[in-house]
Amino acid sequence: MRLSVLLFAHYRELVPSPSVEIEVRTGATVREAIARLRAMPGWEDLPEEPTVAVNREYSQPDRELHAGDELALIPPVAGG
């Protein structure tokens, strides 16, 4: 399935684009999606286990992904 990955701040500048599309199997874990991203040219510096959100909630690397899920990479936050 095609999965759209949202990018913000530091990570957005790697592309640079507000999102990137990847192809993963249905039921792939977040960890697999990240590995797919890290295999793309220019993405070598992405951490192996970056903080992520699935459907706008912080999620763990073993979380499974399904069609329509919103995966977002969350660089170190600096609000306030």
Q: Which residues bind another protein (CB under 8 A)?
A: 6, 8-10, 51, 53, 56-58, 60, 72, 74-80
- Shortest distance, position 67 Cβ to another protein, whole Å: 19
- Shortest distance, position 25 Cβ to another protein, whole Å: 25
- Shortest distance, position 66 Cβ to another protein, whole Å: 18
Distance CA 36, CA 52 (A): 14
Distance CA 25, CA 1 (A): 6
* 9/23 with CB nearer another protein: 9
Pairing mode, strands 71-73 and 19-23: unpaired
Answer yes or no: are the C-beta atoms of 59 and 30 closer than 8 Å.
yes
